[in-house]
Every structure is written in structure tokens, then in C-alpha cells.
């Protein structure tokens, strides 16, 4: 069974890597991913300056997934750019750099610098952080996205991608796709970011479980799988020639298979990686291989995007 993926001029041994935000804030964490069975690496979304993030507790796992309101804690853009400068690209695992400026100008400043650095890493521009008090998710404002992407494509000549929030309405899928299709160098969309502003309650303590925003936070894990799959499949249909990166609810080879069947080129692991550690990559890859062998598939292209309808 062959799990290799070639896309955007990249060759990956397998389709699995971390979701931005998990096991990727420090060089030590990034190296844990890079030296694991993962096929690629992505950095924590960064801002020009380092950020401490929201007060703790700001993450909580539950039997069905996770809730987080981290608040964009990160070591600052230059820390990740410097990692990207020394990254061993020849070892064959691509590096993606996640950028999440607090303003469009912050994103443009980071992208201008990244363009000038002429590094082989690919930017994933985060349009969907749900945890900055008072900041709406850009991904839900279609006109603002169009304006932002127009300037981003102007300052960054290379291929880039965007991290999208989940959408829940066919009209919104169509409206966002119309914006995204305007930009030929926008080569991939990562679906989905956490489902924003959920509330997890601890019955014993009659309390919320995270401190920021009186307990509101982004949901991940099994809670979000059907929404993630819907976003992958809809954007796979609506963005001809672009790639969809699947993210959300992947705990085993079965969910990885579902995301790829729905159209994902590659897939990211978030909550499961946070809870299990980097061993999750080898386990999920083995499960995917076994599932493919049982079904008689030799490679990912044998089933990618071939979800049947009734
Ligand atoms: O609170 C966060 O740091 C965070 N948390 C998320 O669930 N998604 C994001 O894009 C970000 Cl930036």
C-alpha cells in the first residue's frame, strides 16, 4: 500500500501531519513532529510579536473531543521564520508556516518578509481564530476576506493556503468559494478550524472548564467530524484545481480515510495528537494502510474524492 502524496511541487511519504496549534509552538515540539511518522510539519499560528495568550485553564479534553481558548500564544513570527531557515527540507517533510496577524497589516508585514526570505515553506494564512476576545473570525466576513486575499496575493507572489472556519450553510460555502476562486496562487484551503464558541460544562463542579470568555472555546475532536467532512466535500467540489487539507475529528485510520474519500489531499491531526502524543501518527497510518488493504486500494488516488452519493 502506497500512502505517498505529491502536491504543490511537494512529495510527502504520507498524508498526515499536525494541525496548527498542536505540538508546534516551540522548536522542541516542532522537532517532535518532524522526527515522528508525520509526513509534514506546520507551525503554531504566529503574530509579529510573541504572545502569552489567554489565562489558564484554556484547554480541556472531554470524551468526545476538546475545547480551547488559547488566545494565540506563540513565540512570534521571527522565531518560526528562523526555524524555517534552518529546516532540513531535503529530508523530505514539507514545512508549512501558519500566520495569524491581529490585523491585515500584520499579515502583510509577515508575508512580505517571508516572500523576501525565499524559503521552501508554504504559508497557511489563518482566517479563523475564534478565541481573540472582541475579534470576529475573518472567515465569516466574505467581503473582508476578498479584500485581505487581494492584498495578500499582491505581497506574496508564491503559492499559499488559508485555514478556514467551519461553514454551516450551502449559501456560505458558495459565497466563500466564489471569493477563493478569485485567487489562482491560493492553492489550498484547510478545512476546518475548531467550531467556535462552544461551551463545555462540568456537572460535578457546576462550572465551565476553561477560564477565557466565561468558558466559551473552539471545539475539536469527534464533536466536529461531520462538520469537517461536509466542509472538505463542499470545497472539494467548489474549488476546482485547488487542494483541500482535511482537519477535524481524525482519531484513527477510519476518519483519515473519510476525509480523503471526501476529497482531502492530505490531513491534519489536532485533538488526538494533543491527547495521545506523536505516536498517533504511526498508529493512524497503520490503521489507514490496513483499511486500504482490506478494500483493495493500492494508493490514495484509488479512492480520493470518490465518496458515493445515494
Ligand atoms: O486560541 C488559539 O490560539 C486558536 N485556537 C483554535 O482553535 N484555532 C485557532 O486558529 C487559534 Cl489561533
The Cα-based distances of 136 to 26, 71, 132, 133, 196 in angstroms read 27, 13, 8, 8, 10
Q: Which atom of ligand 1 is nearest to the CA of 58?
A: 1
Can you give the pLDDT at residue 134? Answer: 85
- Give the whole-angstrom CA distance, residue 112 versus residue 109: 5
Domain ranges (residues) in the chain: 5-53+72-195+221-302
- Give the whole-angstrom CA distance, residue 114 versus residue 43: 14
Residues in the ligand 1 pocket, defined by CB under 6 Å: 21, 45, 68-72, 100, 126, 128-129, 131, 193-194, 218
Can you give the pLDDT at residue 107? Answer: 98
Q: Which atom of ligand 1 is nearest to the CA of 100?
A: 12
Superfamily of domain 5-53+72-195+221-302: Aldolase class I (3.20.20.70)
Contact 157, 186 (CB under 8 A): no
Q: How far is CA 293 from the centre of its chain?
A: 28
- Give the whole-angstrom CA distance, residue 131 versus residue 124: 18
Determine whether 191 is an active site residue: no
Q: Which residues contact 111 (CB under 8 A, 6 or more apart)?
A: 99, 123, 125, 152, 155, 156, 160
Can you give the pLDDT at residue 120? Answer: 98
Q: Is 293 helix (H, G, I), strand (E, B) or coil?
A: helix
Task: Kindly give the confidence (pLDDT) of every residue in the chain, 310 residues in length, as a single tens digit, with 9 standing for 90 and above.
Answer: 999 999 999 999 999 999 999 999 999 999 999 999 999 999 999 999 999 999 999 999 999 999 999 999 999 999 999 999 999 999 999 999 999 999 999 999 999 999 999 999 999 999 999 888 888 899 999 999 999 999 999 999 999 999 999 999 999 999 999 999 999 999 999 999 999 999 999 999 999 999 999 999 999 999 999 999 999 999 999 999 999 999 999 999 999 999 999 999 999 999 999 999 999 999 999 999 999 999 999 999 999 999 999 9
Ligand 1 mean position, distance from CA 281 (Å):
21
Count of CB atoms situated within 10 Å of the CB of 202 = 12
Amino acid at each position: 500500500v502506497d500512502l505517498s502524496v505529491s502536491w504543490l511541487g511537494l512529495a510527502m511519504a504520507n498524508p498526515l501531519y499536525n494541525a496548527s496549534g498542536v505540538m508546534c509552538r516551540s522548536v522542541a515540539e516542532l522537532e517532535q513532529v518532524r522526527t515522528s511518522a508525520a509526513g509534514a510539519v506546520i507551525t503554531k499560528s504566529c503574530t509579529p510579536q510573541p504572545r502569552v495568550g489567554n489565562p489558564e485553564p484554556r484547554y480541556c479534553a472531554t470524551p468526545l473531543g476538546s475545547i480551547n481558548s488559547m488566545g494565540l500564544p506563540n513565540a512570534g513570527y521571527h522565531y518560526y521564520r528562523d526555524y524555517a531557515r534552518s529546516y532540513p527540507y531535503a529530508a523530505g517533510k514539507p514545512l508549512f508556516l501558519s500566520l495569524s496577524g491581529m490585523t491585515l497589516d500584520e499579515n502583510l508585514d509577515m508575508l512580505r518578509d517571508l516572500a523576501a526570505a525565499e524559503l521552501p515553506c508554504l504559508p497557511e494564512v489563518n482566517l479563523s481564530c475564534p478565541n481573540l476576545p472582541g475579534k470576529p473570525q475573518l472567515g465569516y466576513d466574505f467581503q473582508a476576506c476578498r479584500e485581505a486575499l487581494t492584498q495578500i496575493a499582491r505581497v506574496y507572489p508564491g503559492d499559499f493556503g488559508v485555514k478556514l472556519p467551519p461553514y454551516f450553510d450551502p449559501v456560505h460555502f458558495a459565497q466563500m468559494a466564489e471569493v477563493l476562486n478569485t485567487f489562482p496562487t491560493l492553492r489550498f484551503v484547510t478545512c476546518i478550524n475548531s467550531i467556535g464558541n462552544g461551551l463545555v460544562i462540568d456537572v460535578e463542579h457546576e462550572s465551565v472548564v476553561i477560564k477565557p470568555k466565561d468558558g466559551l472555546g473552539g471545539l475539536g475532536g469527534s464533536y466536529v467530524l461531520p462538520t469537517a467532512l461536509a466542509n472538505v466535500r463542499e470545497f472539494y467540489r467548489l474549488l476546482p484545481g485547488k487542494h483541500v487539507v482535511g482537519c477535524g475529528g481524525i482519531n484513527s485510520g477510519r476518519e483519515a480515510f473519510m476525509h480523503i474519500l471526501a476529497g482531502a489531499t492530505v490531513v491534519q491531526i489536532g485533538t488526538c495528537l494533543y491527547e495521545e502524543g506523536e505516536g498517533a501518527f504511526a498508529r493512524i497510518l497503520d490503521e489507514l494502510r490496513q483499511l486500504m488493504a482490506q478494500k483493495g486500494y493500492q494508493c490514495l488516488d484509488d479512492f480520493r474524492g470518490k465518496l458515493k452519493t445515494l
